[in-house]
Structure 1
Amino acid sequence: MGIELALHDGRPNTGRRTAPTVLHLSTDHGQALAEALAEHARPTEHRLRRIDPYGDTHFNEQDAAAAFEEATALLARCTTGRHRAAVRDLRNLLANCAAIPGSWLSCYGD
């Protein structure tokens, strides 16, 4: 079980003739991210709770901006270096997504 993160310059899986460009792909912290979300995410962090370790979850730039705050709170609760590194990676990609108009962050579960 792991979660890969991909920042796209447009909406993924739209059936367009040309797929959106992947601006950044993160595969280094998949297992640790899944663990951190399972162990430390709170029910009030409803955007992060949507991330499915077995399916795909997508955030547009507005969702990413709101989820960034949730990820900041989650980072403060992480107790291991692996979990902190994974959530920091997620947080950075959420910030990038929020800052790039039209971008989407995809979380791909196993």
Structure 2
Amino acid sequence: MSIEVALYDGRPQGGRRGGPAMLHLSTCHGGGLAEALAEHARPSDHRLGRIDPYGDTLFNEQDAGAAFEEATALLARCTSEAQRAAVRDLRNLLAHCAATPGSWLCLLGD
């Protein structure tokens, strides 16, 4: 299982032409991110807890700002370097999304 993370400059349109531009795609930590979320995400992690490891989950800039705090707490619970690297990457993309008006973060489960 793996979760990739894509940052867009607008809401993704499901593959339609003329949709928003992808600003960044993170594929190198997908396994570590899926593992960290499965092992350490708590039900109280409102936004991180709703990430679907088998489907797509979208965060707008407001969701991303709130999820950043949850990811910071998740980072403290990680038990391996692969998990920590994945959550640090997620935190960076969450921060970028939160700071970019109109942007969306898409977590792509497999």
TM range (shorter): over 0.9
* 1:101 corresponding residue in structure 2: 101
TM-score by length of 1: 0.96
**How is 1:77-92 mapped onto 2 (pairs within 5 angstroms)?**
77-92=77-92
State the number of aligned residues.
110
Return the alpha-carbon distance in structure 1 between the equivalents of residues 104 and 3 of structure 2.
16
TM-score by length of 2: 0.96
Residues 22 and 15 of structure 1, relative CA distance in 2, 3 Å threshold: closer
Residues 15 and 81 of structure 1, relative CA distance in 2, 3 Å threshold: closer
What's the secondary structure of 2:53's corresponding residue? coil
Shift of 1:16: 5.8
- The alignment's C-alpha RMSD in Å is 1.2
Return the alpha-carbon distance in structure 2 between the equivalents of residues 106 and 3 of structure 1.
10
**How is 1:1-110 mapped onto 2 (pairs within 5 angstroms)?**
1-13=1-13, 17-110=17-110
Runs of 4+ in structure 1 displaced over 4 angstroms? Answer: 14-17
What's the secondary structure of 1:79's corresponding residue? coil
Q: For 1:107, give the aligned amino acid.
A: L
Q: For 2:28, give the aligned amino acid.
A: D
Return the alpha-carbon distance in structure 2 between the equivalents of residues 17 and 30 of structure 1.
26
Residues 83 and 15 of structure 1, relative CA distance in 2, 3 Å threshold: closer
Shift of 1:80: 0.5
Return the alpha-carbon distance in structure 1 between the equivalents of residues 62 and 33 of structure 2.
22
Give the stretch that moved more between structures: 85-94 or 9-18: 9-18
Query: Identity of aligned pairs, percent?
Result: 76
Q: For 2:29, give the aligned amino acid.
A: H
